[in-house]
Amino acid sequence: MIHHPAPAGILRLLSTLRLHRVFALALLLSSPTWAYPPPPADPSLPASQVEPAVQQLRRSMLDADVNSLMFHSMDQLFTTRVVGRSGPVWLLPRTDHALDFTYSYAGQTYTPEQFIQRTYTNALLVMKDGRIVYETYRNNTTERTRFIAFSMTKSITSLLVGSALQEHRIESIDDPITKYLPELRPGGYNGVTIRQILQMRSGVDYEERYDFGNPGVAARNHEHALVENVARFADPARTIKRKDPPGSVWQYKTLDTAVLGWLIERVSGGSTVAAYTAQRIWEPLGAEADAFYIMDGPPGVGREFSGAGFNATLRDFARIGQMVLNGGEANGRRIVPAQWLTESTRPTGGPGPGYGYQWWMGQRPGSFQAIGLQGQYIYIDPTTRTVVVKLSYFPPGEMEADKETNAFLAAASAWSPK
């Protein structure tokens, strides 16, 4: 189902630089929007049907003076495709507690309430052993608000690949991607396996850099696909060149995840990524609200932005985390194969503690997390049976809030409510 209150798009996704985990290899743009006027029209592409004012809003949505609102208003700005909930809701038991612990950061000791204020928090939820123990909403948000996941979406795409593998829609992740997407044979994805794409080891020449004053392939792709909606985000994969031998070099690329989304669309039997997400995850999960993807084009043309475009409520993000913590089960139902989760949340390379199949490893041994631009987290620690979801509005380029969040997550994981 398509919801279309306004044309779709997004800009400057993944345009932040992470010092330790290298969340996106990007040149950050933190200057005001007026410093980056719209680029000249590309005569090889059709004219955009998106109003100039809407395009400009998309160019400024990450800015610190508006992002706390924008990050929970995506359906007011973009074309969206609904991921519908259905059936009984997975009721999460709760025993509310005060967060009666402290954490240390940069030589100082802080309380969780200070953390919430210091790290630009829109919403925060903590679960222990399957029970909600803390939940809060800030900045005009509620339990009904749907928040942008940004690159936490990549981890959801990984769950979809695991489901398609279980259903034998994908025979093996060691198959070349061109077995399912022959359109990619002319370019650098020819000979690359699904596993290598999951690991961010495709080797294609796509630098995750968003310098709009001197745009490369990534910046141009965001502008054309997600701001103007005159091209599809995954289309550069058809002809992109190869930079490194497949499997040899880890390099974070949202294009890799867009290819995985295209794969899901192709093997889902004529369906869509949103419909497959609803069928394989959202309905059996017992989600309490519809979710949605932002799209890279209008109905009948656009695709779900499977690299960074998923939106859901705080509690439904927590349900994803708890399902993964439970080895792929939710409310007694098998959602994702346990073997897939074990494999995909194991480090296969990458910076810091490592990267799995579209999941980041955490600082505490055995922990892992889905991470999104400007402070979105689903943190999972199997050792302490902890799930933390934090939805934030970090200013562009804010590094200290991410480091401080790591310190808080470690303390929250070690905390035992009494």
Of 24, 2, 119, 121, the C-alpha closest to 72 is 121
d(CA 8, CA 225): 9
Domain extents in the chain? 2-414
With H, G, I as helix, E, B as strand and everything else as coil, classify residue 381: strand
The β-bridge partners of 105 are: 108
For residue 372, what pLDDT is reported?
A: 97
d(CA 294, CA 303): 9
**Torsion over CA: 179, 181, 186, 192 (sign):** negative
44-53 average pLDDT score: 87
Q: What's the pLDDT tens digit per position in 287-304?
A: 999 999 999 999 889 999
d(CA 320, CA 279): 14
DSSP 178: G
Average pLDDT, the chain: 90
Q: Which helix (H) or strand (E) holds 132?
A: strand 131-137
Q: What's the pLDDT tens digit per position in 202-225?
A: 999 998 877 666 678 888 898 899
Residue 5 has pLDDT above 50, yes or no: no
Residue 14 has pLDDT above 80, yes or no: no
Retrieve residue 42's tokens: 């590309």
For residue 270, what pLDDT is reported?
A: 84
Per-residue pLDDT band for 6 (boundaries 50, 70, 90) equals: very low
Determine contact, residues 336/328, Cβ cutoff 8 Å.
yes
Retrieve residue 334's tokens: 């098998």
Residue 15 has pLDDT above 70, yes or no: no
Put residue 216 in one of left, alpha, beta given phi > 0 → left and psi -120 to 50 → alpha.
Answer: beta
Of 283, 303, 229, the C-alpha closest to 84 is 283
Retrieve residue 234's tokens: 């995954």
Task: Using DSSP bridges, classify how beta strands 329-330 and 333-334 pair: parallel, antiparallel or unpaired.
Answer: antiparallel
What are the strands, taking DSSP E only, across 314-385? 329-330, 333-334, 360-361, 368-372, 376-381
Per-residue pLDDT band for 362 (boundaries 50, 70, 90) equals: very high
Task: Using DSSP bridges, classify how beta strands 386-392 and 376-381 pair: parallel, antiparallel or unpaired.
Answer: antiparallel
Put residue 135 in one of left, alpha, beta given phi > 0 → left and psi -120 to 50 → alpha.
Answer: beta
For residue 4, what pLDDT is reported?
A: 42
For residue 287, what pLDDT is reported?
A: 98
Q: What's the pLDDT tens digit per position in 236-245?
A: 999 999 999 9
d(CA 335, CA 298): 31
Residue 17 has pLDDT above 50, yes or no: no
d(CA 301, CA 298): 6
For residue 21, what pLDDT is reported?
A: 39
Retrieve residue 5's tokens: 């209150």
Domain 2-414 CATH superfamily: DD-peptidase/beta-lactamase superfamily (3.40.710.10)
Residue 46 has pLDDT above 90, yes or no: no
Beta-carbon contacts of 60 under 8 Å, excluding residues fewer than 6 positions away, are 33, 66
390-409 average pLDDT score: 95
d(CA 392, CA 415): 22
For residue 25, what pLDDT is reported?
A: 33
Retrieve residue 177's tokens: 């991607």
For residue 212, what pLDDT is reported?
A: 64
Residue 185 has pLDDT above 80, yes or no: yes
Residue 200 has pLDDT above 90, yes or no: yes
Of 322, 326, 360, the C-alpha closest to 344 is 360
Q: Which helix (H) or strand (E) holds 411?
A: helix 400-414
Residue 182 has pLDDT above 80, yes or no: yes
Q: What's the pLDDT tens digit per position in 106-121?
A: 999 999 999 999 999 9
For residue 24, what pLDDT is reported?
A: 39
For residue 214, what pLDDT is reported?
A: 66
For residue 39, what pLDDT is reported?
A: 67
Retrieve residue 120's tokens: 């630009």
Per-residue pLDDT band for 20 (boundaries 50, 70, 90) equals: very low
